Structure 1
Amino acid sequence: RLKIALMRDWGLKTPEFDFYPLPQVQGILRKGNWTATAAIHKDADSDIARVIALWPGLKNEAYGLACDIGSTTIAMHLVSLLSGRVAASSGTSNPQIRFGEDLMSRVSYVMMNPDGREGMTVAVREAISGLVDKVCAEGNVHRNDILDAVFVGNPIMHHLFLGIDPTELGGAPFALAVSGAVRIKASDLGLKLNQGARLYMLPCIAGHVGADAAAVTLSEGPHRQDEMMLIVDVGTNAEIVLGNRTRVVAASSPTGPAFEGAEISGGQRAAPGAIERVRIDPDTLEPRYRVIGSELWSDQPGFAESVQATGVTGICGSGIIEVIAEMYLTGIISEDGVVDGSLAARSPRIVPNGRTFSYVLKDGEPKITITQNDVRAIQLAKAALYAGTKLLMEKQHTDHVDRIHFAGAFGSFIDPKYAMVLGLIPDCDLDKVSAVGNAAGAGARMALLNRGYRREIEETVSRIEKIETALESKFQEHFVYAMALPNKVDPFPKLAAVVKLPPRKATSEDGAVGDATPRRRSREERAARRGLG
């Protein structure tokens, strides 16, 4: 009788039932005085409609989860499937960090430990279960009312969440075990939601461009517009998407952990006490800065009191980008990234450090200095990202981009001007460079609430052209040129129109300066040049 009613009243053709509600059907109908609310799952038009849950009488609540599994942070939204309202949001650190700070170290852990994959899978699923508890408590929702879930993540997080060994992603050809969209029951992964709840994972684009990048693409929609849009998710492995409605290409680029504060002498993760904004006076070379947890600049009255609880503990990624860009704009470093030692006569902030020089950003305890090695680490990271972007621009046969979107948590804190001064991104109108926050989470919510978006991103991903930077011969050439600030060969006229860029000068590794002095190349640049032959 229930089947007949569904076919007659709702136009469903031969609906099927999950097994678990069948023993309860009669009791539920009797309890509801022969009225009931059925939850129907039908992901694709070609799918058979399935009854996945049944309640007596009228049930006017149904919820879903949209979750972005990042290598550092897991973010979750609890969303009403009826209204689209976000009922609650929460986040937590990814517990897999204890197995390895970055993605490749986690792959190595799996390779070296027989139970490594299982340990990381259990850890991330337990963390997600804990987040479900949090959002349910915040939204005053019962787990049994959650009927659908959408998950996104980079390829390694994707595989570990599904319980798949990610070892093949540790080296060329970076083969995905599963690349298409995944449709399963939530209970298959041990998630305790409604017994009939379904789970959907967006498709991965390539071996190092995952379902999170697909979700960002869905959210920002380069494939829906005429403008050439560049989307960059800056992390230890930057994901880059470039395109318009005619063609979309994608790649990943190994930027390393420098932008997250690792490999930097005073670097740290973004946390209270970390320097996040920096300005340097072009005349005196004296710095001022802001730290996370205080709205005051370091030269303003009350600053010391405002940071008394946390202190000034180090410098995070956004601060590193700004201080090095400011050092370039004020002439402390040359376009080749070498600290100008001759400025030591002009400012006590320039101090010798072995055969090179450093810039003292903060005196006292702890003393925070920007060393020559720090500058080199950022040059290497930004050059890798720019070289990946340049490859995609060549594939698109374009010499410019119309719009740039920074995705991800880190992208939200990058000042577009300083990113461009550094040469992290190509030249573009600054008012067309923006941070889009957790666009991966936004894309996951879109896929949760509208199955049409699922078909859209599945079709779009099938058309995206994947570029493996490691296999492209011109990557090294672009990398060498991108070591300079902003770039050795590419012009930045739109940036120069709003920011006074310093005249080019060559500086040797020991800090001697001159307009045409031959300079010693860094070890990294010499290695990169050898790779060109």
Structure 2
Amino acid sequence: MSPVPGDAPVKVRRVVFAPSGLSATVEDGTTLLDAARTAGADLDSTCGGRGLCGRCQVVPSIGNFSKWQIDSRPDAITGWTATETDYTGRRPITDGQRLGCAAQVCGDLVVEIPAASQVHKQVVRKSVDVGDIEIDPLVRLHYLELEKAELGSELRGLAEQIGAALLADYDVTITRIDTHVLPLIADAVRGGDEAITVAVRYGHEVCAVYPGYVDRAFGVAVDVGSTTVAGHLVDLSTGEVLASNGVMNPQIRFGDDLMSRVSYVMMNPGGEVELTRSIRTALDAMVGELLTDAADTVDTLRPIDRRSILDMTIVGNPIMHHVILGIDPTPLGQAPFLLATDSAVTVRATDLGIDAPFASAYLLPCIAGHVGADTAGAILAEGPHRSEELQLLVDVGTNAEIVFGNSSHVLAASSPTGPAFEGAQISAGQRATAGAIERVRIDRDTLEPRLRVIGADVWSDDAEFTMQTMKLDISGICGSGIIEVMGEMYLAGLIDVDGTIRSDGPERTDRIFADGRTYSYRLWGDSEDPTQNINVTQDDVRAIQLAKAALRAGIDLLCEHAGHTDPEAIGSVRLAGAFGAHIDPLYAKVLGLVPDVPVALVSSVGNAAGAGAVRALVSAAQRAEIESAVRRVEKIETATEARFQELFVNAMGFPHTTEPTPNLATETVLPVAQERAASAGARRRTGRRRPR
């Protein structure tokens, strides 16, 4: 259109947005938010430029920018506006920043978009370590102000008005509105006086509607383990973990391990229904507890409740995965261990018995019959498929999952370690609760133990220990304590390389005593009745040997399949899971749980499966990444591998029966094996283990 004679010509200005360098040519009076949209720059806003959310804050950059050939001056942007003066949103306007929806262009300008104002933010979360990822949630909030209807007005239906407003204000094209949302629209519009906030999933589906302005949306990430269930409440727009919770998996009453639960289903018609009902009830209760925990600490304009939850992600082993979905798990209890589906599954949360009416639940893909969505989550969090160096990732639990490889080739397997690491099958074993022994040290000369228990901050030889444990019942040893006491007994020369509690022990300390045809070690207590004390028995040692040999055999099998049997080729070893997070890397090596890499390369990474669930919750790209990555993982079935049994036998010794441990020999003093009388067919054990 030609300018009207006498009107001043419209001036156009060039605006460059840092750090991206994207630019746009816009007319005078254009807001910085609109200029950013024109340029395609990454500037956040949930209120549609109405000065409510405070997410579009920018920093005008002053100076001469030869890179972009712009002299950016203070008068290239309008002064402080009434919108900014009256702003009372949850995010205060930071000194030196302006609201992009209020400040207008009146000259060539360079504008910095700070990280907090970017839609795809790089942030670090708390509670679970998910690293730095790009926030790209599948559900976003949009604030709309609809035209007030009058009698005789030719407005379309409310759903159509919402679609038109989303297109006009946010360039969002709606293809559907969830059927459970349609009945709620009219009340929301009336309650908000024609102002509403809608949640859009996948960029084109309306999945929730609220009256007025809502500033925050939330999601829940859950890791369903065979023993514990861990959940995290997350702000979808920032990735911040706002609350975390953990409960015992109620399915334990049907069996301690997965196979015993499958057996329960096999022997009890309809048993799968009971398993499903119990875990779904626990998930629903966990969501409620997370919301309660966050209610007093999370700052929101609208009270946080179950309608605030808009997305969920769930990880778990294959049996948990199937049980949650209401799928019979018995095919996973027998060869060929066939999954009903190994793809990611998306359902409504209410279909899983979880009272979150607006939420969708996404279950990460499984890998194989014994390698599930929890392993997929761990892979996503730790990234072996993104690494140039070889990474060994081990989730230590009742059924250990093992991943080995790098960006060229990733292999995965499970190994039946059993529940010994978690305290089952151990005479004084117990779960990690207050009073459980969690750390142990044995003096190399006196063979007297020191220990730490959950619920106390000091070691047992500290003067404060008695006071701190006065109300605690020191009644057993939890998983990390079991690993350490076994390692310490071996390093102190009380257990031989073949796992035998040495017969010369009673000559060295009265803590070693005859227990039938074998020997035991009194760790805690001074009762004359041995059964009243906390002891480590020969059967306990054997149980740990069997568990660790199964784990190590699985690791060695993957290394053989990958063609990398030299520990020096491994770039890092990562111990994951609630139990793995508490294992001291040195003792993992002493027992031979992992290959003989330098101890500095062994680390505990915590709940990697849960971290992967959080990543998938806040990023569509992360979901696409793991769905692609798991299809490239080579699955190794340990149950059908002929080499597994030989590797298992070789791994029974401490640290290992056949493999040398030169790195370990430089990291601690290894004991001298007990000399035994030579006999036919027997080989005499001699000398200190040396580097080779």
Q: Measure how far apart 1:24 and its partner are.
A: 4.0
1:82 is displaced (CA, Å) by 2.0
Shift of 1:60: 1.5
Whether 2:402 is the aligned partner of 1:240: answer yes
- CA–CA distance in 1 between the matches of 2:339 and 2:406? 26
Deviations 1:330-378 (A, max 9, x none): 2112111112112322221221122222222223253122111111111
Counterpart Cα distance in 2 of 1:34 and 1:284: 79
For structure 1, which segment, 109-118 or 20-29, has the greater mean C-alpha deviation from structure 2 after superposition? 20-29
Matching of residue 423 in structure 1 with residue 592 in structure 2: yes
Shift of 1:14: 5.0
Compared with structure 1, are the counterparts of its residues 486 and 517 closer, same or farther at alpha carbon in structure 2 (3 Å cutoff)?
Answer: farther
1:366-402 deviations in Å (ceiling 9; x for gaps):
3122111111111111000000000011111112222
Distance 1:37 1:377, change over 3 A: same
User: Is residue 117 from structure 1 mapped to residue 272 from structure 2 by the alignment?
Assistant: yes
Secondary structure, aligned partner of 2:504: helix
Give the corresponding residue for 2:170. Answer: 10
Does the aligned pair in 2 maintain the 1:238–1:252 contact within 8 Å?
A: yes
User: 2-side partners of 1:237 and 1:132: how far apart?
Assistant: 27
User: Quick one: which of 350, 371, 376 aligns to 2:512?
Assistant: 350
The one-letter amino acid of 2:317's match is N
8 A Cα contact 1:505 1:516, kept in partner: no
SS of 2:521's partner is strand
Counterpart residue number, 1:83: 238
Matches of 1:23 and 1:343 in 2, distance apart?
Answer: 76
State whether residues 330 and 502 of structure 1, in contact with CA within 8 Å, keep that contact through their aligned partners in structure 2.
yes
- Which residue matches 1:135? 290
Match in the other structure for 1:253: 415
Shift in CA distance, 517/442, structure 1 to aligned 2, threshold 3 Å: farther
Q: Distance in 2 between matches of 1:377 and 1:27?
A: 62
Q: Say whether residues 1:285 and 2:447 are aligned partners.
A: yes
Asked if the contact 1:504–1:515 (Cα under 8 Å) also holds between the matched residues in 2, the reply is: no
**How far is the alpha carbon of 1:411 from its aligned partner?**
1.1
> Which of 206, 212, 219 is equivalent to 1:64?
219
Corresponding position of 2:46: none
After superposition, give the CA deviation of every residue in 1:406-464 in whole Å (9 maximum; x if it has no partner): 11111121111011000011111212211111111111111000010000000010101
CA distance in 2, matches of 1:107, 1:303: 44
Q: In structure 1, how many angstroms separate the alpha carbons of the residues matched to 2:680 and 2:474?
A: 39
Distance 1:354 1:443 in 2: 48
Letter in 1 for 2:180: Y
Q: How does 1:495-514 map to 2 (within 5 A)?
A: 495-505=664-674, 513=676
Please, which runs of 5 or more residues in structure 1 have no aligned partner? 43-47, 507-512, 521-533
Distance 1:190 1:514, change over 3 A: same
Map residues 19-418 of structure 1 onto 2, 5 A cutoff: 19-29=179-189, 31-42=191-202, 49-140=204-295, 141-194=304-357, 196-365=358-527, 366-398=532-564, 399-400=566-567, 401-418=570-587
Q: Distance in 2 between matches of 1:111 and 1:382?
A: 29
The higher radius of gyration belongs to 2
1:157-210 alpha-carbon deviations (Å, 9 max, x no partner)? 11111111100111111111121100111122222113x321101001111111
Pair 1:24–1:352, CA change in 2 (3 A): closer
1:509 match: none
* CA separation of 1:391 and 1:5: change in aligned 2, threshold 3 A: same
Tell me if the contact between 2:284 and 2:353 (Cα under 8 Å) persists in the aligned partners.
no
How far does the alpha carbon of each residue in 1:52-71 deviate from its partner, in whole angstroms, 9 at most, with x for none? Answer: 11234432221111111111
Q: Distance in 1 between matches of 2:186 and 2:252?
A: 49
Question: Are the counterparts in 2 of residues 419 and 425 from structure 1 also a CA contact under 8 Å?
Answer: yes
Contact 2:421 2:479 in 1 (8 A): yes
Matched residue pairs, number? 508
Name the SS of the counterpart of 1:240 in structure 2: strand
Partner amino acid, structure 2, of 1:439: A
Q: 1:515 to 1:6 in 2, by over 3 A?
A: farther
Contact preservation (8 Å) 2:502, 2:674 = no
Using CA pairs below 8 Å that are at least 6 residues apart, which structure has the higher relative contact order? 1
Contact 1:505–1:515 (CA under 8 A) maintained in structure 2: no
CA shift, 1:518, in A, is 5.5
Once residues 345 and 322 of structure 2 are traced to their aligned partners in structure 1, the CA distance between those partners, rounded to angstroms, is 11
Q: Give 1:517 shift.
A: 8.4
* DSSP 3-state at the match of 2:431: coil
TM-aligned CA distance change 1:178 to 1:302, over 3 Å: same
CA 1:496/1:11 → structure 2, altered by over 3 Å: closer, same or farther?
same
Counterpart in the other structure of 2:148 = none
Secondary structure of the 1:364 match is: coil
Q: Kindly indicate whether the alpha-carbon contact (under 8 Å) linking 2:256 and 2:419 is maintained by their aligned counterparts in 1.
A: no
Q: Percent identity?
A: 53
Q: 1:489 to 1:193 in 2, by over 3 A?
A: same
Aligned in 2, Cα 1:304/1:24: closer, same or farther, shift over 3 Å?
A: closer
Deviation of residue 20 (structure 1)? 2.4
1:383 partner amino acid: A
Post-superposition offset of 1:322? 1.1
Asked whether the equivalents of residues 321 and 373 of structure 2 are also in contact (C-alpha less than 8 Å), the reply is yes
Contact 1:505 1:514 in 2 (8 A): no
Change (3 A) 1:55 1:337: same
User: How far off its partner does 1:30 sit?
Assistant: 5.3
Give the whole-Å Cα distance in 1 for the aligned partners of 2:305 and 2:525.
53
Take 1:296 and 1:394, find their aligned partners in 2: how far apart are those partners? 43
Distance 1:191 1:375 in 2: 43
What SS does the corresponding residue of 1:436 show, helix, strand or coil? strand
CA distance in 2, matches of 1:94, 1:357: 36
One-letter identity of the residue aligned with 1:199: A
Is this contact kept in 1: 2:177–2:207, CA < 8 A?
Answer: yes
Deviation (angstroms), 1:5: 2.8
SS of the counterpart of 2:642? coil
For 2:353 and 2:425, the matched residues in 1 are separated by 38
